[in-house]
Structure 1
Amino acid sequence: MELFSRNVAALWIILLEFLLRSVAEEEVLMNTKTETSDLKWTTYSRSKPEWEEISGLDEENNSVRTYQICQADGSSSHWLRSKLIERRGASQVYVELLFTMIECSSRSTHHRSCKETFNLYYYQSDTDDATATHPAWMENPYTKVDTVAADFLLRKGGEKKFNVKTLRLGPLTKRGFYLAFQAQGACMALLSVRVFFKKCPALTRSLSVFLETVPRSLVQEAVGQCVANAAQPGPNPRPPKMFCGEDGQWVDQPTTTCTCLPGFEASHGELECRACPVGHFKMGSGPGPCSLCPDSSHTGEMGSASCACRPGFYRAPTDSPDTPCTRPPSSPRSPVPQVNDTSLTLEWSEPLDSGGRSDLTYSVECRMCSAPRGPCMPCVDGVNYRPSQTGIQGRRVSIWGLRPHTTYSFTVMALNGVSPLSLQGPAGETINITTIESVNCSKVTATESSLTLHWNTPTQSHYRILQYQLRYCEKERGSEENSCHFMESNINEVVLSDLRRATQYEVQVRARTLGGYGSFGQAVVFRTLPDEDDSSSPLLVTGILIAMGMLLLIIVIAAAIYCIRKQSHFKDPEMSDKNGQYLMGQGVKVYIDPFTYEDPNEAVREFAKEIDVSCVKIEEVIGAGEFGEVCRGRLRIPGKKENYVAIKTLKGGYTDKQRRDFLSEASIMGQFQHPNIIHLEGIITASCPVMILTEFMENGALDSFLRLNDGQFTPIQLVGMLRGIASGMKYLSEMSYVHRDLAARNILVNSNLVCKVSDFGLSRFLQENSSDPTYTSSLGGKIPIRWTAPEAIAFRKFTSASDVWSYGIVMWEVMSFGERPYWDMSNQDVINAIEQDYRLPPPPDCPTHLHQLMLDCWQKERTARPRFSNIVSALDKLIRNPASLKITAQEGAGPSHPLLDQRSPLTPTSCGTVGDWLRAIKMERYEESFLQAGYTSMQLLAHITTEDLLRLGITLAGHQKKILSSIEALGIQNKTPGNVLY
């Protein structure tokens, strides 16, 4: 019920504020109705009668002081002048006149000079110095306001009607002014004169307060301030602004960035900032409402910017104030050891309580004890851990480097982001482990083919020996895999048989208990006994000869394999895939999609260089992107030259997905190195805001750059731009990369007119801004229809061939100097026209070869379209033969298809004004220049010349040509003054 009452009150306040805004305030400077004594205005006349002050009745039958006059002859002027009226800072004032006028035909002394009008003048002065003779009683120095005619005339026996006229005076510049009335043959009564000016009332809107404002001109700018508990973000905020019209009405919405301070929310229709109630908070400045305190936190006062954690709960330094408070986790459960030699593997189960956090890690503490129940001390440095001793993500750790027959105490602790804040320390689970004593062989009995070995039993009593393992290797053959053998025994003795005579063997023994294997003991060398004729055996020579033959065979086979591989190395490196696209062979870099990485951040680290934020200085904001602002700045890396960079920033409050999508563009750009591909300088992710730094392109986007310089470039220059774009796309296609959003708006131009392909953030997630409508396909996702190939629209089949179609549209944009493809057609009309084999006509003065290349790019079958390598070659031929660019198509840019013939031709009657005509030919930027030069009607344009256009400030040759051609096409004829239509 309380919430409903607050909402109703807010609605009433909004309605009342709107009504106050709709009514302009008036400040009265003079009103004769309120005068109680004689007015005593100055009159002047060379003949009788004169203006006479008498008492009369107004339209409400109230007694007022009036002036009246009834002239018999209109040959002379009769003047009436008011006293000085202070203007009080107003530059425009209004005069409301209430008067009656007698019809000439009803007057007894009717004369042909009788008039039913009078004149109103005013005279400005800084002092009240008017006298009976000064200023002179003539039109100059007075300023004429208007000739006032009566709407209602009094006639004999007729109804008495009053005339009310409101006239505007201005501009006023001096301290005050006099009103002067001139009658020349009128019979009238001036019942009342009210002088006032209008002002915009005080207003609160969008958290901004604007004081009462008097308009000084047609539109007066008013500077306001933020309401209480509100402020503007940024280091150099601009004050709120709003415009006051001369009619006393506020114009449009205010320009303001006022937002409520932390701990306050906008209320009552953004008329005030209200403190957050108890139990609520608002973290930062902005338009958002107050929120309930997160879990395990509270606030006991109003206007809180954050909520404090309850006892036993904490926030990590990296947690934002709007996250719930959490606590350290409980102990890990059920640690299970497995001892092997002097190494240990520990596994455990996760804690029952994670503390409400997902950043759970583990650490292991090692202590070495003198006895199973004796005192312990920290382990020595030789103990190693895999993956690590602290910050363990999984629930398993391997430990090696332990001493044999030693008791260790291991404590496994669970930690999270708030564990360091707890006074109780991390919770852990402890387990004691004793490593196994090593075993050494001590006795041996040898024969020619056997060894009988014996060793002492380990003295440790806390583990029962389950088995022994013996390892023996031929010493001459080193550590070759087939030279070592293992044997198990349940007792401390073993017989090794089938050994080689007169051969040394290296022997080691270790014991196995319930805790696992211990370490091998010290290696001991034993030798079998020799036979009687060991040195004269003929088998030795035979063995050597066999080994040499085997070695020679291996060398021959290796040489043959090398020759085969060397021949295959020089084959054609290009191979065709099943779709007809060509992939480069070894040695050519291939694009890697960063979203194929299990962790997209790994792709960012691999392809983008991290830059320290101290090397970057942001100078100004130059635009806005999908994720935040785009700025211009300077990059100064030690040891390198300082240069300008473009900086894309990620606005605050982003999600993990938004951060990944934002940085994915850097992961893509970082893989490209080409003079016609925008160059990635690096990224900044270690501080806020997250930034992507690219080379700075001084001339911005290609489409707007061409529109700004319409007609300023020769065909050979335009072909050079197109060649650069095609070269960049050839590089991308050879890397098996499909752009998907190739358009002139996504091509950037530097100061040397070098064009570079950019905007790789949309190549995976196809989106467009609201100012350029998109067609949503049945398969989902938004597609830029005007630039997209038919198969990509219908089946989302994006290939290098679909990029070629888009490149053809870019060619048309360039040759038409930024004209919108398909003009004002709807997206569905574009799809229908293409399906009916319609293709864009050549732009004005477009070389025929270029338009034919466009048509080749727009082949319906994608396999019939040229590749980018073919396009680069074709453009190179045109550049080498400039004469071919002089052959132009005869058809001008514009609709040439039944679906497109929706626009009526321009005619002098269809373009009612010069402004309408300029807007029709997209030259509206020059409207003010034409009007100031006196070209106020279409007929005045008949004989305009190039010199006239230069005087108007139109210096671009392309714009001059378009304007003169349009005038010629309109067929305007100069009319004589008598035939001009007003």
Structure 2
Amino acid sequence: MDFRANRRILFFTVFINYVFISHQAKEEVLLDMEATRGELGWLASPYEKGWDLLQNVINGSMMYIYSVCNVQEGDQDNWLRTNFIQRKDASRIFIEMRFIVRDCNSFPGGSVSCKETFNLYYMESDVDYGTHFQKRHFRKVATIAPDAITTKGEEHPNTEMRMVWPLTKKGFYLAFQDIGGCIALLSVRVYYKMCPGTVRNLALFPETVAGMDSQSLTEVRGTCVENAVSSDTPKMHCNTDGDWLVPIGQCQCKPGFEMGNDSCQACNGGFFKPDVSNGRCMKCPKNTQLSPKGSLSCLCEDNYYRAPDDPLTEDCTAPPSAPRNILTSVSGTRLQLSWQPPLNTGGRRDLRYSMTCERCTAKGETCQPCETNVRFEPQAKDLKDCTATVWDLEAHVNYTFWIEAQNGVSHLSTQRAVTSVTVSINQTEPPRVTSMTLEESSKTSLTVSWPVSNRHLARGGHYEVMYRKKVDEKSYTVLRCDQNSVTITNLSPSTKYVFRVQAVSAEGPGTYSSEHEFSTLPDADKHTQNDSTIIAGAVVGGLAMLLLVGIFLFLRRRKRSPHGRQGVEDTYFNPEQLKPLKFYVDPHTYEDPNQAILKFTREIHPSNVTKQKVIGAGEFGEVYKGILKFSGKKETPVAIKTLKPGYTEKQRKDFLSEASIMGQFSHQNIIRLEGVVTKNKHAMIITEYMENGALDKYLRGRDGEILAYQLVGMLHGIASGMKYLSDMNYVHRDLAARNILVNSKLECKVSDFGLSRVLEDDPEGTYTTTGGKIPIRWTAPEAIAYRKFTSASDVWSFGIVMWEVMGYGERPYWDMSNHEVMKAINEAFRLPAPMDCPSAVFQLMVQCWKQDRSKRPRFPDIVSLLEKLMMNPDSLKAIADFDPRVSIRLPSTSGSDGTPFKSVAEWLESIKMSQYCENFLSAGVTSMDQVVQMKAEDIRNVGVRLPGHLKRIIYSIVSLKDQTSTMSVFAV
């Protein structure tokens, strides 16, 4: 059958239904296969045997596509290379491919060599090599797999996008490799993204090429539009997708201008704007003159004013009118004044009153200001109420009182709002005593005094003093005295007395003063006696307490037995543990490895397996998500490991040996083997599908979302799986969070047995390797030094897995090199507690990292302890001490070279909190000097709400303040 002719018919049918894709983002196109509408001149290798250029006229235009379909001609290696593409300003390019892939099962008789994927490559260059083409210069970008497969009579175009970066040379080539598929390349579009020129917050930002790194933003400085200003240069950040993000600062319109249509426009007549802002112009308030265009304020009309504190937005106001209807009431030498408020307050609410006083003793005499001994209550100035009392006036004197109404603008006007009243004092009464002073005191006497009224004593007046014990409210003693002081004897020691005084004159008694309290001194002898009693009691009590403590310690020592003490390690070990039977069979002991495959695995026919999409790449080939379907049974989602083309026989045996190992295990926390495909050129291993993928990647970014007891539950599942393996005398050798898979129920299962080996029958159960890779960060020191692996070395690795889990996927030993890690472990350094790690969990980690492997816990003990923690959640509340200077490995105040962090983004990245970069920048926190001044409330205001994230950032800031020099990670 002519497959070349067949693919032309199929692909032209699909091409007629091709729909153009619109792109909304601003893009600079470097290559557009579809828009070229002419001979592309791409280079195919091998020539005329692989990719073909096909053409057809669609709507009067010639359209071109490339296709290949050599599915029944054995192993294929067909390349299609583009022409030289100029890079221009791009450092990161996007490659959009539209293609169709035909179902391998749709070919008559099927094809064992058929593929449903192809590969994308690229090569950078400063020169155009023309037709000179060498595959070895190209680097692989990705394996491209379709989301939908084209079958007979049903075409399914696919669109895939890939990115390449960093690009540094003048240009580049793209290449497409076919390894045996039936593929039509409908269009290829290469472009880079740009942030378009824009006006944001009244700042002009030029067109900018999008950044290269998806984790960083390109900072762009803007310039203010006309009639706008800014205290700081406005900035925005251009991201990889060509979007403007994280605006910092803004421009604001000058006074007299308002914002409109991304510009600043002058205020209209009758409007004003007094400040630099983006607010609207305001209408001139009442009692102001009509303002011209672009005014900063509106002037007040005549006789209207603004107080210094009045905002320009308020109405202009006037002084008040005078108070009205003053009323007086004389009682002896006391005068009560009251009045009504003015009819016109001037439009203000800050009305107040001031009083002045003049005295006139005889007709024709010039009146003089009142004496200073005339008192006003509550005061003479700034009165808010319309009443006042005047004290200590003289008899037979005329007084004139001036009451002035004032408000906030009265001082700006020359007019005064004053009303006056004249009062004659014809009678008098003794002045009131307003204060008393304790002159001398003893345990039985008190001497008190009060101010003297010269006028009262001159008229032959005297005083009456009343006193009583404070506790006796009804029994007063009254004394008469001619002076302004008195000594009272025969009083009780240490007692409070209450005093009142009134003046008495020929006209009658005056008003009593308010009450004043004074105390006699305490009895010294009694006080001394009481102190002695207290001291003696304290001494006796102290001796009794010491005696009780001594008895308690003695009894406790007698009860303690040297055999009753139990160390921390004792909780993890049972010396009577029996070595389990050896059930595991090493497939490498079989002379013919195929016999192990037949014994421990199930053969599955390829027709029962459907590959859906590529989800990863393993050591031997690509990994697919797929469906396993047997007749009469439901479809089962599975993961499919494949063996890449061109494998050797040794690679095939090593690939299938992992299946021989997994096939011997049956435990809910060990990845389940569904079967293998071996009777086909392309061998496959079929395992259960784990929706959430590798544990380390799943945990990253979920800090605070998964609670501590859930993490402990995950660790319990991993430990259970490892207990099962250790019971079979099996050593994993590569236990790490990356080799733990998580399903949709958050169940954790041990996987990846590529480095695993069986224990030998020697007493220590060790296995000595002759080479190969060792994961240093997860490997016990004896395994690194001597290549000896035991279940105890797996326990060490489990301790590292615990640290990864409680640290939400943090990389063990951070960015230390393998050499630094080995040196640190040999110098007794151990990883510190992750943030918010329960103390009991961290103590178990420390036990797993004992230098002497015989002192490490065993997996049955680990499972038992984790079960106890899960049954008692309160045991997880005690948190281990956290040292951010070590845990975050900043060295928390410095970059990798010991210098201070250059930016907030760099600091946040170092503590794995880069998701808050935009929050800090939006809040105006743009420098590390601002960061170290922040408090907990400031961080919450930025938008950090999760308790774990809040603690991490606070601890880091504490370290930033404490650090004065570069810190060594070993300074525990």
Q: Normalising by the residue count of structure 2, what TM-score does the alignment of the two structures yield?
A: 0.40
Q: Normalising by the residue count of structure 1, what TM-score does the alignment of the two structures yield?
A: 0.40
